[in-house]
Structure 1
Amino acid sequence: MPTPDFVLDLRRRIGQDPLSLVGVTAVVFRGEKVLVGRRADNGRVQCVSGIVDPQEEPADAAVRECLEEAGIVVRAERLALVQTVPRVTYANGDQVDYLDLVFRCSWVSGEPHPADGELTEVGFRKLEELGDLDADHVRRIALAMAEDDPAHFEGGR
């Protein structure tokens, strides 16, 4: 899915200056496997993620992103991690500061496929097959694995 309209509207007003956005990461489990996909824009392998729309509940955004990007229906089960990520500067120069909300999700139905062009490949992998994930996404998966653990909050200790 392309950049949301509300972000494009903000960009027309502020240009490429840093923009604070709320993002979600969906760590989706299907049995002993986790959903990962290869991003079309930078080739990195990671969990499904996206931007929360205005007035959208973050858990609903995680569910929506899985349907839009991977063509699957999931259920958001719990918040696993709240963190800010280092400032992202996109190829066009736009700068974004994300507050990332990581949700543990469970697969409900559908077979994963690159549904909207944001991913070039997507599927469920065993945990031992995640060698090409960056350390941050491995950590997100690790924190989401425990079904009953409370959410982890960065900072504010």
Structure 2
Amino acid sequence: MTTPDFVVALREHVGHSPLNLVGVTAIVFRDEKVLLGKRADNGAWQPISGIVEPGEEPADTAVRECLEEAGVTVKVERLALVQQLPRVTYANGDEVDYLDLVFRCSWIAGEPHPADGELTEVGFYDLAAMGDIDDAHVRKIALAVAEDDPAHFRGGRPPRLDAPAARD
């Protein structure tokens, strides 16, 4: 996966320390099928995803990533899920904490193809035939299926009761 220039610049200052980044996952539907791609780096099947660039609207990131990675034009319909992903440690030691914004999208135009080298295969697949997909991605797709459900959020834990009181 290509690392955005702004992340490379940050890494010059923070080394391998954890970065908090915002990512998006685009769950794209065409008829009764969902857009999935096979990642070039690890061979995993998943929906289209990417990192939000500084100053970029997250929904615009979903549209951009679909065009860059799969060669398709999409329309973002709604936010389906907001979640903090477990910390990722890459092979080079870089650590990242991703806030993942999952969007339900609809296909507008273009036939899917591996457009930028991040995917080796890409296409629309029947929902019932998604056998080789991680459970976390299946959950994202399931939450995006409904056209008008409210967004889902993880967390919402109450504050610790033993936390020291704020001082004036």
- The verdict on a shared fold, with TM-score over 0.5 as the criterion, is yes
Structure number, greater radius of gyration: 2
Please give the alpha-carbon distance, in whole angstroms, between the structure 2 residues aligned to 1:45 and 1:35. Answer: 10
Partner of 2:91: 91
1:95 deviates by: 0.6
1:2 deviates by: 2.0
Please give the alpha-carbon distance, in whole angstroms, between the structure 1 residues aligned to 2:11 and 2:91. Answer: 15
CA-based RMSD? 0.8
In structure 2, stretches of 5+ residues that fail to align are 158-168
Partner of 1:45: 45
Partner of 1:106: 106
3-state SS in 2 of match to 1:98: strand
Pairs within 5 Å for 1:13-24 = 13-24=13-24
Pairs within 5 Å for 1:3-152 = 3-152=3-152
Query: 1:71-94 CA distances to partner (integer Å, 9 max, x unpaired)?
Result: 000000000000011111111111
Counterpart AA for 1:133: I
Deviation beyond 3 Å, 4+ runs, structure 1? none
Please give the alpha-carbon distance, in whole angstroms, between the structure 1 residues aligned to 2:68 and 2:92. Answer: 24
Q: How high is the TM-score relative to the length of structure 1?
A: 0.98
Counterpart AA for 1:140: K
Counterpart AA for 1:78: R
Please give the alpha-carbon distance, in whole angstroms, between the structure 2 residues aligned to 1:142 and 1:9. Answer: 36
3-state SS in 1 of match to 2:102: strand
In structure 1, stretches of 5+ residues that fail to align are none
Counterpart AA for 1:28: V
Query: 1:5-54 CA distances to partner (integer Å, 9 max, x unpaired)?
Result: 10000000000111000000000000000000000111110000000000
3-state SS in 2 of match to 1:136: helix
What count of residue pairs does the alignment treat as equivalent? 157
